[in-house]
Amino acid sequence: MSYVVEMKKITKVFPGIIANDDIDFHLKKGEIHVLLGENGAGKTTLMNILYGLYQPTSGEICINGEVVNIKDPNMAIQHGIGMVHQHFMLIKPFTVAENIILGNEPVTHKGIQLDMKKAIQNVERISKEFGLKVDATAKIQDLSVGIQQRVEILKALYRGADILILDEPTAVLTPQEIDELGIIIRKLADEGKSIILITHKLKEVMAMSDRVTVIRRGKMINSLDTKTTNTDDLAEMMVGRKVKMEVDKQNKESGEVIFSVKGLKVKDNRGLDAVKGVDFDVRAGEVLSIAGVDGNGQTELIEAITGLREIVSGQVHLDGIDIKNFTTREIMKSGVSHIPEDRHKRGLVLENSLAENMILGYHHQMPFSKNGIINYEKVHEHAKILIKEFDVRTPDENVKAGSLSGGNQQKAIIAREMYKNPRLLIAAQPTRGLDVGSIEFVHKKIIESRDNNQAVLLVSLELDEVMNLADRIAVIYDGKIMDTIDAKDASEKQLGILMAGGDRKVSANMNSKGMSHDEK
């Protein structure tokens, strides 16, 4: 069989790490092929080699049967390969057309003046041909995240890409945008484009792909037709053991209100309104989830209630006490634990040891410190206990926190924050970038906190995670809570309408299966 891409015996060695170990990967013309694996499995490294960002230590790449040496992304583009990165590379004040032609601008017949009219015509032609429905004259800053992603795809198509690599393409999309992306990808494949998806979302693997290749610890485990497998089998291939995809959560009555926010207003770093009069309560023994597309005020909300950002107005009460003007240390001492959304920026001191990181926030307290002097014997005893209890994979407690994998860094933070047995646990994007095995562990620990009668405020971009863990779901859009729904009554379609700023009356007309009452 002929392939548009053949990667043969690809090995990539970094100092002390074999990222890719003798991997074979084949892509057929007109297929959607998912590359699946845990964090650090080597899937992104493999695609960076195909796109020319890395050079293989050994191995061979063939494009349409011809052996090629792709030294950089420009050469990849010449071979018809385009890559859409997880974090978009667009200039927000520019228009769609200006972003797409950047570096490849059409000029007038004299070659001295930009032919913007021709550029817009070309972009509109490609957009129409592949059903992308993008306004070439719109500014990027005025477009939704889903449309911005289409612009990135258009940019690759404009440069003649027949092979498209999409890195975590659904990470920041609403359910409706994910469905629309699936339709677009299938149309591209039907038109003869060959698509490689890097994703960790097993449901989307099954919905979107024709074939899937699983990589674990740098080695290829299997490559198979999607229709011959299922999510349970794929998860086991990824992790090397059986994984429970849904957490065991017993129905229980929630208790008294532990945490209350009323009329909260917060500004972003530019001085613009980011949180616009938000109200919500979190009760003992429940998980309240804040759901929404990234950039709708979630970050500013969490920073404000944890003392990291100034509150413009409103009330914040913990156990009936106003903590609005408390310092971060005072908030923590009052019984709040915080798993931050950015583990490197807010969660860890990467150059410090794992043991030192596991006492951050209470390092000044007994038994770890007395008169400002750290008792390292107690610190190390404490770290060993948490490492064992929370299954932190590390040689020992003395290694630098920055040397651990992302999943184990996250486990270390969760261990530290849950050790405090808080009244309120704030978990912001607790599984961002984690593989299915680590996600299973984190979810189990969050439900344990809930079952121990703690109040849990979960902020997540992952809708599956929200629906799996939450007792109630508050949807945020443009800094406002659109509606709060019992999780047992919620559907993805209903939540997606709210996440996109849709009418709550339309959303409320959906039943738990996502059907309107008129459709039943």
CA-to-CA distance for 463 and 475, rounded, in angstroms? 11
Q: What is the pLDDT of residue 329?
A: 92
H runs (alpha helix) in 13-142: 43-50, 73-78, 96-101, 116-129
Instruction: Please state, for a pLDDT cut of 90, what percent of the chain lies above it.
Output: 56
The tens digit of pLDDT for each residue in 59-87 reads 999 999 999 999 999 999 999 999 988 77
Q: What is the pLDDT of residue 370?
A: 86
* Largest Cα–Cα separation, the chain: 78
Exposed, middle or buried by CB within 10 Å (0-12, 13-18, 19+), for 335? buried
119: confidence class by pLDDT, cuts 50, 70, 90: confident
**How does strand 424-428 pair with strand 336-339?**
parallel
Exposed, middle or buried by CB within 10 Å (0-12, 13-18, 19+), for 118? middle
CA-to-CA distance for 481 and 33, rounded, in angstroms? 38
Is 333's pLDDT higher than 50?
Answer: yes
**How does strand 455-460 pair with strand 286-291?**
parallel
Rounded to an integer, the average pLDDT of 47-60 is: 95
Q: What is the pLDDT of residue 111?
A: 61
Is 335's pLDDT higher than 50?
Answer: yes
Is 414's pLDDT higher than 70?
Answer: yes
Rounded to an integer, the average pLDDT of 220-227 is: 95
Is 88's pLDDT higher than 90?
Answer: no
Q: Where are the beta strands (DSSP E) in 153-202?
A: 163-167, 194-198
Q: What order do you get walking across the sheet with 273-283 strand by strand? A: 273-283, 257-267, 313-318, 321-322
Q: What is the pLDDT of residue 141?
A: 87
Cβ atoms of 50 and 81 within 8 Å: the answer is: yes
Instruction: Please state, for a pLDDT cut of 70, what percent of the chain lies above it.
Output: 95
Q: What is the pLDDT of residue 393?
A: 80
Q: What is the pLDDT of residue 519?
A: 46
Rounded to an integer, the average pLDDT of 103-129 is: 82
Of 94-98, 434-438, 510-514, the one with minimum mean pLDDT is 510-514
% helix, strand, coil for the chain, step of 5: 35, 25, 40
504: confidence class by pLDDT, cuts 50, 70, 90: low
Q: What is the pLDDT of residue 512?
A: 47
Rounded to an integer, the average pLDDT of 231-243 is: 88
Look-up of token digits 């992603």: 149
Mean confidence (pLDDT) of the chain: 88
CA distances from 3 to 23, 137, 302 (A): 16, 38, 48
Q: What is the pLDDT of residue 369?
A: 86
Q: Which of 366, 347, 372 is nearest to 358 (CA)?
A: 347
40: confidence class by pLDDT, cuts 50, 70, 90: low
Rounded to an integer, the average pLDDT of 178-191 is: 90
Q: What is the pLDDT of residue 520?
A: 41
Q: What is the pLDDT of residue 114?
A: 79
Of 96-100, 355-359, 361-365, 448-452, the one with minimum mean pLDDT is 361-365
CA distances from 168 to 253, 357, 466 (A): 37, 30, 19
Q: Residue 306 is encoded by which pair of tokens?
A: 């944890």
pTM (two decimals): 0.71
Is 51's pLDDT higher than 60?
Answer: yes
3-state DSSP assignment of residue 149: helix
The tens digit of pLDDT for each residue in 289-316 reads 999 988 899 999 999 999 999 999 999 9
Q: What is the pLDDT of residue 303?
A: 94
Of 140-154, 278-292, 312-326, the one with minimum mean pLDDT is 140-154
Rounded to an integer, the average pLDDT of 495-515 is: 69
Is 38's pLDDT higher than 90?
Answer: no
Cβ atoms of 141 and 27 within 8 Å: the answer is: no
Q: Where are the beta strands (DSSP E) in 85-172?
A: 163-167
Q: What is the pLDDT of residue 109?
A: 67
